[in-house]
Structure 1
């Protein structure tokens, strides 16, 4: 069973990793950000846009709030520039942490029901499983981005959780 502390730790990890990406990506030329790197969504910029869109979508489900105005098909264009992405990424990471600090464990064992545009149907799943997927999805795509940046000869910050500042009691 997931706990509130797990959610807080993963939200902090997410924000820490995204801070490092924001610092690095904002220094890169648009041509490099938009080059097809063989990632699932092609370019680094398309991938970070997809990830921000997905985080926004999942948070709307977790909190019963409006979904992003952009469809999954257009998620790779969620933000028009790296500067707009960086600002929205910062805000979203703060929002995720605030949610994690307030989530109750009873919510994590209940069911979450939403309409999935991808499946074209209503879906109902355990909230804890959805939250685990949410954090795993972030790590998965950031791993692709990290590999692409490393392949370009850049040095992104480490991804090991035990190196995270103020790790909390779980480590």
Structure 2
């Protein structure tokens, strides 16, 4: 699988743009609405956003990006932050780490395998690093799509999600 550093930087920009829009969308929204079960895999808007924060920390730690792994497992990850404001602060900081990691990558850094212990599988796993990096960004897009649907269902403005319409000046 060929993955270039330029593509990773593009996906990091997209991730930051998407999350900034979600931060604006949830700003001032009641905790009741953010934690209400909307029928998604992780239940609520905040639970899903927390899961993404948890998973991104885990993957960045595996990638050697200088990010501490999250505590607990997937189930505990949905409660990583208690409010939308706390999530926004943590997300902003982590997106900065993703951007810095991507900025410093060379395409050669994306070759070879990544090996880790998967608590979900209860075993050691080894996969191409490029596949794992692609998975991290795909995983973000998947769950942000769920958040988009939950925001829409709740009658809130959902963000623009089309990569082709991402502003050029987004860093």
Using the size of structure 1 for normalisation, the TM-score is 0.93
Q: For 2:32, what is the secondary structure of its paired residue?
A: helix
- Find the partner of 1:155 among 139, 154, 157: 157
Determine the structure 1 residue equivalent to 2:64.
63
Matched, 1:25 2:23: no
Q: Which moved more, 1:33-42 or 1:59-68?
A: 59-68
Determine the structure 2 residue equivalent to 1:52.
53
Matched, 1:75 2:50: no
Q: For 2:114, what is the secondary structure of its paired residue?
A: strand
Provide runs of 4+ in structure 1 moved above 3 Å: none
Structure 1 contact 110–126 (Cα < 8 Å) conserved? yes
Count of aligned pairs: 168
Instruction: State the 1:167 CA deviation.
Output: 6.8
**For residues 98 and 16 of structure 2, what CA distance do their matches in structure 1 show?**
9
| Residue 116 to residue 100, structure 1, CA distance change in 2 (3 Å) | same
Structure 2 contact 81–87 (Cα < 8 Å) conserved? yes
Instruction: State the 1:153 CA deviation.
Output: 2.0
**For residues 147 and 83 of structure 2, what CA distance do their matches in structure 1 show?**
17
Structure 1 contact 9–167 (Cα < 8 Å) conserved? no
Q: For 2:19, what is the secondary structure of its paired residue?
A: helix
Instruction: State the 1:70 CA deviation.
Output: 2.8
Instruction: State the 1:137 CA deviation.
Output: 0.2
Mapping of 1:1-171 within 5 angstroms?
A: 1-63=2-64, 65=66, 66-166=68-168
Structure 1: where are the runs of 5+ without partners? none
**For residues 67 and 7 of structure 1, what CA distance do their matches in structure 2 show?**
21
**For residues 107 and 122 of structure 1, what CA distance do their matches in structure 2 show?**
22
Structure 2: where are the runs of 5+ without partners? none
**CA RMSD, 1 decimal:** 1.4
